[in-house]
Amino acid sequence: MNLWNEGYEELEGVHCLAEYKEQIVPENQGNPFIEALPNRLGADAFSDALFSAPMFRPEFLELEVEDRIELSQQIRPSFWLPFPSHYDKYRGLYTMIKIGYQSRNPLTAVYNRQFAIGWDKILENGLDENGANIAGNIPTAQSLSEIGLSGMGKSKIYERILKQLFPQVIHHHEYKDRKLLMTQVVWLHIECPSQKSLSAFCRNFYAAVDKILGSNYYEKHGEKGGTADNLKGRMVKVAAQINLGLLIIDEIQNIHRAHSGGDETLINFITELVNTIGIPTIIIGTFKAMYIYKNSLANSRRGIPASYNENITSFLLEDSWDWNQFVHGLWDLQYTAKYTPLTEELKATMYFHSIGIPDIAVKLYMHVQQKAILVGGDERITVPLIDEVASKSLRLFKPISEKIRRGEDVDLKKIEDIEPDWASFNDYIEQASFRMKIYGKLAQDHARSLQRKDKNTILEELTNFVLNLVPNAELAESLAISVYNATGGMGDKQVMFKQVAQLALESNHPVSQKNEQELKDDQAISLPKLKKPKKMKPPLDEEDIRYIVKEGLKKGISAEEALEEVNIVREWNDFLKFCM
């Protein structure tokens, strides 16, 4: 890569002069924008390029307390371990940029025709039935949503990939003995504005372009008003002029806080950038952003971008390769006077408190080391020490982690970046028409949601099983449906079999007799369409009066006596003191 930053140190991003490389794929051949991109790395080279850790030397362990504490603070900004899923993202991103440029070859007539017509007019007219804009060009751009928890490195992985493996700006001078004075901005990262307006979004775009090119687009266009069409037309023109290869829009969940119509206006514009203009786009956000396309574009004529994919990332699983490699790599960065080997108990404790979120685990490990160093002695890391530090340094996170460990739902309205509401999430997945990849604990949970598509089969299996335990088919079907509905079809199948068996053994309710016509109707209806039984009552709390009375009856005492035992019912003279 022929770097070109000399004399342009005030500009952000890596600049280089174009060096053209032979392409294997025919669609990529003869396109200067594609041939100037760096070669794709293999998995091993990718891992070597992105891995980083703070410098560690044995003599560091002999330094003073404050020096070692300062060294431990370098773990979080410096430690980065690539996962196999990160290479998947790199592969997808690399392909996305190349395919996006296939329809924007500067040597073709249609490329120049688009500038002659005007990008504002192209944007206004959209695409015809063949997917071509009014210049006759068929955009090849793709789009991707990266959704997940804070602390999982959603933004960081793309930042590291793009900054370390791609130049940001390529300067073209000559291509195959032909003058080609063009600037190619390979990628651009902007944040979805907290102001939530289209004008603020455009201003963020101009400011980002000016930082890397030294241009004055913000001054020329940033403060100009106008209609939404005017705002979009000006920004699209700039994006086309700089030959933008990829636009990354971060913090996309801000759209959900937008004023009336703000979310749909902005998302429609992002869709138009992909479908009509041909600029690949990656949007990054928390779980609150997951339903953006479904909610904002449900009635849009353009709909979801034609080539749309979605990556969803949740907690690392405790028994996963990713978590084990991560915690082992992290553990080696130990600045205590005496090294503490990583045991299964220590590893389990780290996972318990971090619930598989790398950023939380790194922060906890840093604080644990610092506490051990300050306390002194042999400075060993122990389970009680981790528990003590976690109780203080993670106290704001503790209510959330406890709910998750108990399997309780987390209120996304208050904690928007922990995990999606499963009822709407599973509906969302089942209805999705685009390609979706799910990583981490969420992938394991999602596997159960797929059982919904096998409702008939599961109900039949449960019914056939419980028929061995109850006297007739009607009761068997009723119990099977009850267990299935109690979990929304998402329960573990083995657990459902245990539950239906328990209900069958505990059931001593006679089956109501049906008339002849009802029996005929039942035979004509498939199992899932059977009349639903009454909803199963949830177990009573031990402090519930109904529970107390029920337990009293089992003991052979009256309801009044049972309530007197727990001081709910009192003697009449006990209340006289309140009247004195």
Would the pLDDT of 181 be above 90?
A: yes
Amino acid 505: pLDDT: 78
> Is residue 363 within 8 Å of 58, Cβ to Cβ?
no
Domain ranges of the chain: 2-313, 329-405, 454-529, 545-578
In degrees rounded to 5, what are phi and psi of residue 200? -65, -40
Looking at per-residue pLDDT, the higher value among 492 and 429 belongs to 492
- ∠ CA 421-441-437 to the nearest 5 degrees? 80
Indicate the fold that domain 2-313 takes in CATH: Rossmann fold (3.40.50)
Q: How confident is the model at residue 524 (pLDDT cuts 50, 70, 90)?
A: very low
CA–CA distance, 142 with 159 (Å, rounded to integer): 19
Task: Pick the range with the lowest mean pLDDT from 166-180, 263-277, 447-461.
Answer: 447-461
Specify whether the backbone of 407 is left (phi greater than 0), alpha (psi in -120 to 50) or beta. Answer: left
Q: Both tokens of residue 229? A: 């069409």
Alpha helices in 183-311 (DSSP H): 198-213, 217, 228-241, 262-272, 292-296
Amino acid 94: pLDDT: 95
Would the pLDDT of 188 be above 90?
A: yes
Average pLDDT over the chain reads 78
Amino acid 48: pLDDT: 93
List the beta bridge partners of residue 285: 147
Would the pLDDT of 387 be above 60?
A: yes
Q: Which residues contact 241 (CB under 8 A, 6 or more apart)?
A: none
Looking at per-residue pLDDT, the higher value among 313 and 528 belongs to 313
pLDDT digits (tens, 9 = 90+) for 485-507: 776 666 667 778 888 888 887 77
Would the pLDDT of 522 be above 60?
A: no
CA 314 to each of CA 88, 203, 288, 317, 435: distance values in angstroms, whole numbers, following the listed order: 16, 32, 13, 9, 18
Q: Both tokens of residue 144? A: 């991707």
Would the pLDDT of 107 be above 70?
A: yes
Amino acid 376: pLDDT: 85
What is the arithmetic mean of pLDDT over 522-527? 41
pTM of structure:
0.67
Closest by CA to 50, choosing from 8, 11, 89, is 89
Amino acid 366: pLDDT: 92
pLDDT digits (tens, 9 = 90+) for 111-162: 999 999 999 899 889 889 888 999 999 999 888 888 776 667 788 889 999 9
Specify whether the backbone of 567 is left (phi greater than 0), alpha (psi in -120 to 50) or beta. Answer: left
CA–CA distance, 108 with 96 (Å, rounded to integer): 20
What is the arithmetic mean of pLDDT over 90-102? 93
Q: How confident is the model at residue 446 (pLDDT cuts 50, 70, 90)?
A: low
Q: Both tokens of residue 90? A: 């790199």
pLDDT digits (tens, 9 = 90+) for 283-312: 888 766 665 555 443 333 333 444 445 566
Would the pLDDT of 359 be above 80?
A: yes
- SS3 for 99? helix
Amino acid 399: pLDDT: 75
